[in-house]
Amino acid sequence: MLKKFFAFYLLLPAAFVMAKGPVRLQNIRYYAYAEYTRVVLDLSANLKISEKVIKRGDGGRLFFDLKNCRFAAAYPPDKKNEIQIKAGNLKQIRLGRLGRQTIRVVFDFDQIGKHSRFYLTSPFRIVFDIYREATFVSHAQEERQPAPETAATEGNLPGGRQPGAPSAPSIARQLGLGVHRIVIDPGHGGKDPGTVNRTLGLKEKDITLDIAKRLNSILNEHVELEVILTRPRDDYVALEERAAIANSNQGDIFISIHTNSAPRRTARGIESYYLNITADPRAMEVAAQENAMSSKSIAEMRSILDQILQNSKIAESKILAQYIQENMVGNLKEKYAAIEDLGVKKAPFYVLLGAQMPSALVEVSFLSCVDEASRLADPAYRQAIAAGLYLGIINFIQSLGK
């Protein structure tokens, strides 16, 4: 499923935070592909940088200095300051000391087109997204064109037909909308269980994976679209790795699946999010929880977010979130009582940062609510959620032709 995806870990040190003194460079991780590379620097504390890019001939170099920074004890491994990579467009990473307190980091690329950089906290990370070409064009954008008239009458799926009923072979193909790949992200996984309902013995990571698999099956059954799961099993995948998987696979739609939780045990309902800044304290709380950080640190991200958001598909993502929300709620209401529609909201979710395609994060129900948690324990409820997600995706694809 992820054959194009190569994640290399240079080193996985135990995270430690220095109380005082210089910041430590603990690790450099990279996700390298032919057209796109995401590089992540793990640091012991906050450190702001400004990078320089040099383009020359058929190569390119990006470099920056980490001031008041030293190597962590176990980094780089074997004290090798030159790391040969030759995966995707990233050829090598070089590390050098400038005096006692500065580390210079150099990335050598085959070619550098567009690039962006942002910071994540808890723990502190610097993330670079580097593209080979100057502009990244998703398939959906590239090939978007009006739907043929005949298809519009046949493509009557959402609203009317339920998944499970016989369907036309390929809605996307009929409509000629150029949506090829859907990337589904089952939230959490491995050492990160997400929200846990101890009374019922339910973990968010298991529920999100199950819903993702059900959605995958429905999509495979009804449409000729390639579906990619960021984790097909109970694996730990870092938040910043998930959008990297979507970008590297040139996904046309990216959906991250989660279950909600709130201190108030009676809180219930379904809500969908798209990436943006928000003043809504409740939305901030949800983002803080999913980002595994405090709302205060999210507020501090504001200026970085402004920059990233300029390169994000906010308008399309909002429409995607609306279709998904509407169809999830509609589909569940047909079979279940007391389904609460909490609507479409915006918030700064790490997992969506840097995604180059329309993207949404769904909170399918509250695992902290007794009633909704017992529903989530029932495969029929999870199937109904997956069906709603499917209908939302198809509705969104159809809307592209309008």
Question: By the criterion CB under 5 A, which residues form the site for Zn ion?
Answer: 187, 194, 258, 290
Rounded to the nearest 5 percent, the helix, strand and coil shares of the chain are: 30, 30, 40
Residue 188 CB, nearest approach to Zn ion (Å): 6
In the bound complex, what is the minimum distance in angstroms from residue 290's beta carbon to Zn ion? 5
Angle at which helix 379-400 crosses helix 204-222, to 10 degrees, equals 50
- Residue 163 is given by DSSP the state B
Q: Which residue's CB is nearer to Zn ion, number 181 or number 258? A: 258
Which CA distances in Å does 370 have to 35, 365, 376?
46, 11, 10
User: Distance between CA 173 and CA 180 in Å, rounded?
Assistant: 9
Half-sphere exposure of 306 (CA within 13 A, CB side): 4
Give min distance, CB of 261 to Zn ion, in A: 8
Q: Which residue is nearest to Zn ion (CB)?
A: 258
Q: How far is the CB of 236 from Zn ion (least distance, A)?
A: 13
Q: For residues 88 and 194, which CB has a smaller minimum distance to Zn ion in the complex?
A: 194
Q: Find all residues with CB under 8 Å of 64, minimum gap 6, and list them.
A: 49, 50, 51, 52, 104, 105
Closest distance between Zn ion and the C-beta of residue 288, in Å? 11
Instruction: Tell me whether residue 41 or residue 385 sits nearer to Zn ion (CB atom).
Output: 385
User: Rounded distance, CA 293 to CA 121, Å?
Assistant: 7
How do 82-87 and 341-347 pair as beta strands?
A: unpaired
Are β-strands 226-229 and 181-186 bridged in parallel, bridged antiparallel, or unpaired? parallel
Residue with Cβ nearer Zn ion (278 or 289)? 289
**Residue 273 Cβ vs Zn ion, minimum distance, rounded to whole Å:** 11
Indicate the residue among 155 and 189 with the shorter CB distance to Zn ion: 189
CB closer to Zn ion out of 195 and 395: 195
H or E element that contains 246: helix 239-248
